[in-house]
A and B are shown apart, each in its own frame.
Chain A
Amino acid sequence: MKSLNLEARIGATLLVLLTLMALLAPWIAPGDPLAISGEAMLKPFVSEAHLLGTDRLGRDVLAGLVHGTRTTLLVAFFSAATALLVGSVVGTISGFLGGFADTVLMRITEAFQTVPGFLLALATISVTGPSIPTLILAISLGNWTQAARVTRAEVLSLRERDFVAAARTLGMRPMEIAFREILPNAFGPTASLAAISVATAILIEAALSFLGFGDPNRVTWGTMIAEGRTVLRAAPYLSIVPGIALVVTVLSVHLVGRGLSRKERLQS
């Protein structure tokens, strides 16, 4: 932490707080956040029982916000992890094998880049139906290509190094060299994409649930914004507040990411 700059430290602190909020949600805001808990359309900072007010059905906004953190972070973390994993494996195979395999894998990567990630997620959800695992799959489908490209470029430059030649003379199998020797060394630059992947995943999940294609049994910030939109004139804060939560989360991810990549650049 100490070696990070101020911006990154602010971002990291916010992320830790958000994670705590997600983990402790059942204790911070007990009960079902989708249950009606009071008078409808209470303004924020009026009632002590509903600090941020209630929505048009009388559901507590703060409880929704706290529980929404869970969905957001869960989906974002796992889909970014899946995307990075798939991307780095594809990139390693592609860069290490070269030749025809490389051409085929790179064309597939390009095909995935050609289809807008959000539309791909939408199409996948329409086939599989919305749930947390399918959302994770759908979002990572459009999110792995950049990791594949970056890893491939890194593997190409590592492939000719002495330690790879040494591993060959030791009699290691090609795939063993690729995944045990080259991939760990190529992972640094790919990991710096993690922040962008997480941020993209958060925004896609929010947009999907805003359109009503998220998991219907969970409260998410996107659905809260969509719900609030129906009373936008009377109670704009119902849409604005969950959006601020989104912006803060994505911004802190970016701040941490920028700090980490700057640190890596200084070290190399």
Chain B
Amino acid sequence: MPLLASFFLKRLITTIPVLFIVLVGSFLLLEAASGDAVDAYVARSGAMDAEQIAQLRNEWGLDKGPVHRFEAYISALAHGDLGWSTAFERPVTSVIAERLPVTLLLMSIATGSAFFAGSLLGVVAGARPGSWRDRILSTGSLAIYAVPGFWLGLVLIVIFAVDLRWLPIGGIESIASGKTGLARLGDIAVHLVLPVSALAMVYLALYLRLMRDRMAEIWRDPFVKGLEARGLTRRRIVWRHVARNAILPAITMLGWQSAAMLGGSVVVESVFSIPGFGRLAAEAVARRDTPLLLGVLLCSAVTVIIANLLVDLAYGKLDPRVRISR
């Protein structure tokens, strides 16, 4: 499929300037923060005289103008070096590599279930716009859409962990349980139920509304009348034609929603004390660790870019018009 490949390549090329702008932005934040990498290094290694410090600054290219500093920053990044985390006393890259998988797991389960359940309920509501089912689901989704994830997390903890004692209060797995294999997997799954619900609920409401609103629009399209005239059953029109067309905007949402969800994971992981990537951002700010914070920022930007590329690829495959028109 060369058309799809060239479409993908074009999209890939447009991400390069975007990534560059993000880099410039994060460099500016680094410059605005008090203290540089050498200060951090000195604070860690203890005694160092002024001459040694000046020499180190020279070596790391920090005593020259901002353009040189930017070059040094970029070249370090190109080597996969995100700097030194002062809070963890380790390279930022290794801290992030340790924390990222948990968050990606949390996010992908939350995205998957929100998308699945949300669009399914959206079809139920959008099958007959204006019906009582639609009214209940639409109003309900609007209410859920107003609930902050971190607060929902606390409420879920109060109900399911404190009162009912059905689920664990936090963490990603039981400490020192010695579980392996399937038992460990089950343990992690039990720990993920509440955080995933807290993170996913808002997006479930979002997909429900997107799907329902788009379906309501499509029902007014003349082609639906044509299908009815051909004698197709209602069920077939709903699923094969109306819902199928309405799913496209929801798929577009998936990519950008990953950005919002990464932001949401910061608070949700703090609520459930999950040692993930999101909580790392909060820890970095609390412990004044700017290199770590910017590492988190850059990695989230890259995650969002990748998510959007994947969505575009899926979209290009699902909707042939995209391949031709761009």
Contacts and interface: CB of A to CB of B under 8 A. Distances in A.
B29 interface: yes
A147 interface: no
Contacts, number: 139
Interface string B280-301: 0110111010100110110011
Residues of A contacting B: mostly: helix
A164 B195 CA distance: 53
Interface size class for chain B?
35 or more
Contacts of A255: 142
Contacts of B154: 225, 229, 232, 236, 239-240, 243
A115 B260 contact: no
Nearest to B302: A114
Interface of B: 14, 17-19, 21-22, 25, 29, 32-33, 139, 142-143, 145-148, 150-151, 154-155, 157-158, 162, 256, 259-260, 262-264, 266-267, 270-271, 281-282, 284-286, 288, 290, 293-294, 296-297, 300-301, 304-305, 308
A89 to B, nearest CB: 18
A125 B260 CA distance: 18
Contact of B142 (A107, A117, A236, A254): A254
Contacts of A213: 282, 285
A77 interface: no
The 9 closest A-B pairs by CB, nearest first: A118-B263, A116-B263, A111-B21, A243-B151, A250-B146, A251-B146, A126-B285, A236-B158, A116-B262
Contacts of B288: 126
A119 B145 contact: no
A46 B302 CA distance: 53
Nearest to B159: A236
27 contacts: A114-B18, A114-B22, A116-B304, A118-B262, A118-B267, A119-B281, A119-B296, A119-B300, A122-B266, A122-B285, A126-B285, A126-B288, A199-B146, A207-B267, A229-B271, A232-B154, A232-B158, A233-B162, A236-B154, A239-B158, A240-B158, A243-B148, A243-B154, A247-B146, A247-B147, A247-B148, A251-B143
